[in-house]
Amino acid sequence: MNISALSVHRQKKYRQKTIITLTLRHMRGRDISKVDLYESVKALVETDESGDKHIHLAQQKLFTLFSIAFQYMLFRSTKNPGAYIIRIEDSALADKLAKKSKDPSTRRFIQSLLLPRKLKYQKSTFFLDFFHIGSWSLTNDIPKEKIQGAIVVKNTNKRPMMEIQEDEEGEMDPMAQLPQDYFISSLTEFVPKTITVAYDWQKEDHLPLKEVNFPFIKKEKEHVAGLTLSRELDLDNIDDKE
């Protein structure tokens, strides 16, 4: 390799390294701050003290909310050892959570949990399953009294418990007979603490979920006639100006 070619090769490697470094810095810049994460987990701990067993995180930042919920459940697992279930709508969403959750600890843990969907953490064990009951083989074998908590993560699918038609032999899939909220109602019946992360979801009244919001997460913006308006704006208190 001559000097000119070597120089070009080094420049390419330098550019690639620079791009990777900038990308990693950008990803870290989008992570939740340590202060916001701490205060949010603390708020969830306070729901234990107030006796709220089943929590609904309904704001629009799914990856941020999952990081908060997971770090809370990780903390809880050190105080209440046992089995913990992470139930995600499907494997595609699980992959996204492993890559896009808003803190590095959560990303690493979920990446390790994807396969074999079971991971030991101190004296507790975390299990991963999906909304389709065919993925519940591991979690169904856990004695109910050992399950200490669960996180349920729902995407924007309006009918998350997929409607299954008859198969080729004319037999009906058992999921066809299940209620559409069975992915969570099957857990709130006996799990002492659940956190459901679901935006734009109308839960049924029979579900005993308490909604918790975090003030650092701003409300979703609306686009009206070419203008971007925040739902936090009080239009009645804006003075008319020339």
Q: Is 223 helix (H, G, I), strand (E, B) or coil?
A: strand
Return the exposure string of 74-86: e unless at least 16 CB atoms fall within 10 Å of the residue's CB, then b: bebbeeeebbbbb
Both structure tokens of 36: 């916001």
Tell me the mean pLDDT in the region 134-153. 95
Alpha-carbon dihedral angle through residues 152, 157, 162, 163, given to the nearest 10 degrees: 140
Can you tell me the mean pLDDT for 221-240? 44
Tens-place pLDDT, residues 90-100 = 999 999 999 99
- In this prediction, residue 24 carries a pLDDT of 45
Q: What percent of the chain has pLDDT over 70?
A: 70
**Among 62-66, 87-91, 175-179, 196-200, where is mean pLDDT lowest?**
175-179
Q: pTM of this prediction?
A: 0.76
Q: How crowded is residue 118: how many other Cβ atoms within 10 Å of its Cβ?
A: 13
Question: Please, where are the H alpha helices in the chain?
Answer: 3-30, 34-49, 62-79, 91-100, 104-113, 137-140, 182-188
Considering only CA atoms, which of 127, 70, 81 is closest in space to residue 103?
A: 70
Residue-level pLDDT at 210: 95
Q: Does pLDDT of 4 surpass 70?
A: no
